[in-house]
Chains A and B, each alone.
Chain A
Amino acid sequence: QKEVEQNSGPLSVPEGAIASLNCTYSDRGSQSFFWYRQYSGKSPELIMSIYSNGDKEDGRFTAQLNKASQYVSLLIRDSQPSDSATYLCAVFIGNQFYFGTGTSLTVIP
């Protein structure tokens, strides 16, 4: 069974702080890893994709992948109120995408 697990939260951080979101997956055959952001009532939009072990940085966002430990994380630096949303971890395995249930993040001004 292929599972993607996330803490549902809610996670609250003050404005300007670092938000840390974590995700674990069960299938070692996982090929691609993604973080999507979903505002309430809206469709998911891609924040980061990562395909190999290590860190990948894009602006205030850093994705970290550790295939040996089967986890992928997302760090949001200098968190802004506009970052308040649900963050979905997704894994691509064998032609299919599997999503976690999402972590709700609130950035407090």
Chain B
Amino acid sequence: EAQVTQNPRYLITVTGKKLTVTCSQNMNHEYMSWYRQDPGLGLRQIYYSMNVEVTDKGDVPEGYKVSRKEKRNFPLILESPSPNQTSLYFCASSFSVAGGELFFGEGSRLTVL
């Protein structure tokens, strides 16, 4: 089954404790991206990647890191989480780097205390 898989789905952590949210797709997609969704602010792009070893900042990259060492994986790293990073996070991928359909993972709800 074609899918984008995120883990963990739910996480409660404390300020400053490093965490990684994994994202994996099995569709051989070139484009992968991370978003956060907050009430009233909609989906905002954090980082995106157009190919292995190629990553770029989105609109809200502060406090996040990513890597793309393999085509299928695109983890999101919070080195020192803060309460303002409490949010619903989505990973998404697309077959096209020119603006094709995004396939979303199921989301990861993160709470930072």
Q: How many residues of B contact A (CB 8 A)?
A: 24
Contact residues, B42-82 vs A (CB, 8 A): 42-45, 48, 50, 56, 58-59
Interface status of B33 (Cβ within 8 A of chain A)? yes
Q: Is there a chain A Cβ closer than 8 Å to B2's Cβ?
A: no
| Interchain Cβ contacts within 8 Å, total number | 55
Given known A-B contacts A31-B99, A95-B50, A44 and B56 have beta carbons under 8 A apart: no
Q: How far is the CB of A101 from chain B (nearest CB, A)?
A: 4
Q: How large is the interface on A (under 10, 10 to 19, 20 to 34, 35 or more residues)?
A: 20 to 34
Chain A interfacial positions (CB closer than 8 Å to B): 31-32, 34, 36, 42-46, 49, 88, 90, 92, 95-102
Q: 8 closest A-B pairs (Cβ-Cβ)? A: A92-B99, A32-B99, A101-B42, A43-B104, A99-B43, A99-B42, A46-B101, A31-B99
29 A-B residue pairings within 8 Å (CB atoms): A31-B98, A31-B99, A32-B99, A32-B100, A42-B107, A43-B106, A43-B107, A44-B104, A45-B104, A46-B101, A46-B102, A49-B100, A88-B43, A90-B43, A90-B102, A92-B98, A92-B99, A95-B97, A96-B45, A97-B33, A97-B35, A97-B43, A97-B45, A97-B99, A98-B45, A98-B59, A99-B35, A99-B42, A99-B43
